[in-house]
């Protein structure tokens, strides 16, 4: 294994666990058609499948219409240049290729599968891919060493009638070119006038300088430098790929070439660029030090000699990260949507220009939080969009698609670009972005102090560590400091200088005030002062809730070591209920996000409680940025068959009718009517405009059983139940929750408290 860097925030074991559990690997296949009846089987396979088979035999392009080819990309490698690890073989590259497939799906809704080819012979590699290439709508080559990668890509693009794209070359080229366009804009320089030095003449470097030339940089104003020095015309032992970029220059070293240069593009190694070299550059120098994990020169070293420099790196802990994920998903999204035959220079330039243009636009708040809550504004520290910018999916692909259309490589031109953009907005699964949106909002809001009540538990400590590392707020661990630190050390975590607070409830100086306040709440409920003193001293839920009540913290998460009802009872003795108390579970499955209530509080709610649950759930969903459409679920459909529980639901509907609430609601109905509009033909009176997204359950047992069954069966993610309605934000996780569950709950607690303050 490679040596861990200072910035690594996980252990090697955590990385292995991530890749192995609960299912090995990072990708799987999900069918897009039902397979529930004999008719489904007949249509999907024999005899129905024969119909598209014959259609494709007559016209191979029909594969785009009748198979998944049009949204399918192969990520193919032989493992000869894995990340920064080198030639470790085809099978060792599989985790990286799977990771690339995940990024394709997450950022651009492109289905992707990895193919590892066990050969280092370029001709053999080309033969293999050529013979299987028609399976996909595009091919993303990955982690293939230079110079073989140039030959492989060029030949495959000639042999195949689909886009073939080597991301190690072109991804970096596209993002760095976008950054260069904007850096020149900020520095007041023109592409055609700048002098550019490339330090590192590998695949990414050569592709970057080529694309920059296509964008406007003049060939005669460039100098490339490899490990043997400047590549000048007439130099011996230079391959054809470097020779294409050789210039007539008297310079023979990188230091000589950088004197008076406007731009240096670093794709070499740590230390390749010195402060003296930077000092010799022209005014307002542009320095892209993109080696990973350590740049050719750190921004700090650059600043020590040049305060007028514009700097980009390949790292996320500095501004202006050159991250390939900004490019390849959207290049392929646009190329696939017009069924392009290739990704040409014009499409790459269009992508770079679109990225540059997006960075110059006003930055919404949810994007700004990715930069530690700073309000982003186009300038020296913001010349490249952030990877989680939600606008990327609908902003970039149309430019790529238009370039494909303009250059004649599009099989299916797009007639209405506005409609295409609207379609792109809807492509990404909103559930995948839910926690990202909440996390972004938390980072962008004023810092929240979140109590992790069971602070001695290793899972809680790790969640608090992640909460701090992700800059979501200030975690406070309640527990004995010696034990907390011991457990943290055993987990491989070091708390020094991280800003995680540890408070021992037994010896806290606030115990007297907390005890007195709680005693005054409970003295008429059978509690003596010594009882309350013991509760504050020895029970972390009472202590943590008291911190919230006294303003010493903002939010709290608990529940890992005791059941929900006990934790809620303890917290409720300290904090008031400000509105209807409910449990709201979020179910994310198959492109849908559903909110289910009540999943933790009301065992058998009456009609009034059902109405109140609906109002509280709808308000919470609206705070999350969704338009609530509430369905009251039941075993019956509008009175058929009749029953007491159904009547309570009908009464809840009448109560809401009288209140005149501002959200859609309907009931009682089974899940099929709520979630499948096509099933409503027998009920034309239904008031929901489309499928419901808020499901109010008739009783807690149906709510809990249904949500947990969905999660247990797989294919769905369950968040919650989220506790809504207390005067301060407290989240109670299930017993034995994982680190990610605790982290999500803490994040939502901070988010909910921020919403409450805004309200």
The catalytic site residues sit at 45, 100
What phi, psi does 222 have (nearest 5°)?
Answer: -120, 150
Residue 597 gets which letter from DSSP?
E
Helix (H), strand (E), coil (C) string for 206-272: HHHHHHHHHHCCCHHHEEEEECCEECECCCCCCCHHHHCCCECCCCCCHHHHHCCCCEEEECCCCCC
Q: How many CB atoms lie within 10 A of CB 374?
A: 13
Q: Long-range contacts: 358-365, Cβ < 8 Å, 24+? A: 358/385, 358/389, 358/391, 358/392, 358/395, 358/396, 359/178, 359/182, 359/383, 359/384, 359/385, 360/182, 360/185, 364/391, 365/444
What angle do the packed helices 94-108 and 328-337 form, to 10 degrees? 60
Residue 580 gets which letter from DSSP?
E
Across 425-526, the runs of DSSP E, i.e. the strands, are 449-452, 474-478, 501-503
308: which residues sit within 8 A by CB, 6+ positions away?
283, 284, 285
Q: Where are the alpha helices (DSSP H) in 4-121?
A: 12-20, 38-44, 50-58, 63-66, 94-108
Q: Is residue 699 within 8 Å of 604, Cβ to Cβ?
A: yes
Lay out the sheet containing 310-313: strands in order across: 229-230, 222-226, 196-199, 263-266, 286-289, 310-313
Residue 4 gets which letter from DSSP?
P
Q: How many CB atoms lie within 10 A of CB 365?
A: 13
Q: Is residue 455 within 8 Å of 502, Cβ to Cβ?
A: yes
3-state SS assignment for residue 92: helix
DSSP letters spanning 526-542: T--HHHHHHHHHH-HHH
Phi-psi region of 440 (alpha: psi -120 to 50; beta: other; left: phi over 0): alpha
Distance CA 548, CA 562 (A): 20
Strand partners, 694: 595, 630
207: which residues sit within 8 A by CB, 6+ positions away?
166, 169, 170, 172, 173
Distance CA 386, CA 322 (A): 9
Peptide bond into 22 cis (omega under 30): yes
Distance CA 245, CA 201 (A): 10
């Amino acid at each position: 294994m490679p040596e861990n860097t200072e910035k690594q925030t996980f252990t090697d074991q955590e990385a292995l666990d991530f890749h192995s559990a609960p299912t090995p690997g990072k990708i799987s296949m999900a069918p897009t058609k039902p397979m529930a009846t004999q008719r489904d089987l007949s249509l999907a396979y024999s005899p129905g499948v024969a119909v598209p088979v014959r259609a494709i035999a007559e016209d191979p392009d029909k594969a785009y219409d009748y198979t998944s080819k049009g949204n399918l990309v192969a990520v193919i490698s032989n493992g000869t240049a894995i990340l920064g690890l080198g030639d470790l073989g085809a099978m060792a590259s599989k985790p990286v290729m799977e990771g690339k497939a995940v990024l394709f799906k997450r950022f651009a809704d492109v289905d992707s599968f990895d193919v590892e080819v066990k050969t280092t012979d370029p001709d053999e590699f080309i033969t293999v891919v050529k013979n299987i290439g028609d399976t996909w709508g595009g091919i993303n080559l990955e982690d293939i060493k230079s110079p073989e990668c140039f030959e492989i890509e060029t030949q495959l693009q000639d042999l195949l009638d689909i886009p073939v794209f080597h991301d190690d070359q072109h991804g970096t080229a596209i993002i760095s070119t976008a950054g260069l366009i904007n850096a020149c804009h900020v520095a007041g320089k023109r592409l055609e006038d700048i002098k550019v030095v490339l330090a590192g003449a590998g695949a990414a470097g050569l592709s970057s300088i080529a694309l920059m030339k296509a964008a406007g940089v003049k060939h005669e104003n460039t100098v490339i430098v490899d490990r043997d020095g400047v590549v000048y015309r007439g130099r011996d032992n230079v391959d054809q790929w470097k020779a294409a970029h050789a210039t007539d220059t008297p310079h023979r070293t990188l230091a000589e070439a950088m004197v008076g240069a406007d731009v240096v593009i670093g794709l070499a190694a740590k230390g390749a660029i010195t402060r003296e070299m930077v000092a010799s550059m022209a005014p307002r120098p542009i320095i892209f030090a993109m080696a990973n994990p350590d740049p050719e020169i750190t921004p700090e070293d650059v600043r020590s000699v040049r305060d007028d420099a514009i700097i980009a790196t390949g790292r996320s802990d500095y501004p202006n990260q050159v991250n390939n994920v900004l490019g390849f998903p959207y290049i392929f999204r646009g190329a696939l949507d017009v069924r392009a035959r290739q990704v040409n220079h014009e499409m790459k330039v269009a992508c770079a220009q679109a990225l540059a243009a997006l960075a110059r636009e006003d930055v919404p708040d949810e994007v700004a939080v990715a930069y530690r809550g700073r309000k982003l504004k186009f300038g020296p520290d913001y010349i490249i969009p952030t990877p989680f910018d939600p606008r990327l999916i609908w902003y970039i692909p149309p430019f790529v698609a238009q370039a494909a259309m303009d250059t004649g490589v599009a099989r299916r031109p797009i007639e209405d670009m506005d409609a295409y953009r609207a379609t792109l907005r809807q492509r990404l699964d909103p559930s995948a972005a839910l926690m990202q949106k909440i996390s972004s909002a938390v980072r962008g809001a004023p810092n929240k102090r979140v109590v992790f009540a069971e602070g001695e538990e290793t899972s809680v400590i790790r969640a608090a560590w992640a909460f701090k590392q992700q800059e979501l707020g200030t975690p406070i661990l309640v527990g004995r400091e010696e034990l907390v630190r011991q457990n943290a050390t055993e987990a491989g975590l070091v708390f020094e200088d991280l800003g995680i607070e540890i408070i021992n409830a037994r010896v806290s100086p606030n115990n007297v005030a907390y005890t007195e306040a709680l005693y005054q709440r409970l003295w008429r409920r059978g509690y003596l002062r010594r009882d309350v003193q013991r509760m504050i001293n020895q029970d972390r839920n009472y202590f943590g809730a008291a911190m919230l009540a006294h303003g010493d913290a903002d939010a709290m998460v608990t529940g890992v070591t005791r059941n929900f009802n006990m934790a809620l009872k303890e917290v409720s003795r300290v904090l008031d209920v400000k509105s209807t108390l409910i449990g709201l579970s979020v179910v994310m499955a198959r492109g849908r996000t559903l909110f289910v209530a009540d999943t933790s509080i009301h065992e058998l709610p009456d009609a009034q409680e059902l109405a109140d649950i609906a109002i509280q759930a709808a308000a919470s969903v609206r705070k999350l940025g969704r338009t609530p459409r509430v369905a009251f679920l039941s075993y019956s459909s509008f009175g058929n068959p009749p029953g007491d529980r159904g009547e309570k639901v009908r009464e809840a509907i009448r109560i809401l009718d009288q209140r005149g609430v501002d959200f859609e609601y309907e009931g009682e109905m089974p899940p099929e009517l709520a979630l499948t509009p096509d099933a409503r033909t027998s009920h034309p009176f239904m008031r929901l405009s489309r499928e419901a997204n808020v499901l109010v359950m008739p009783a807690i047992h149906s709510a809990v059983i249904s949500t947990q069954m969905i999660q247990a069966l797989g294919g769905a993610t369950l968040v919650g139940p989220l506790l809504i309605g207390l005067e301060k934000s407290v989240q109670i996780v299930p017993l034995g929750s994982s680190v990610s569950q605790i982290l999500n709950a803490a994040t939502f607690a901070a988010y909910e408290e921020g919403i409450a303050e805004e309200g």
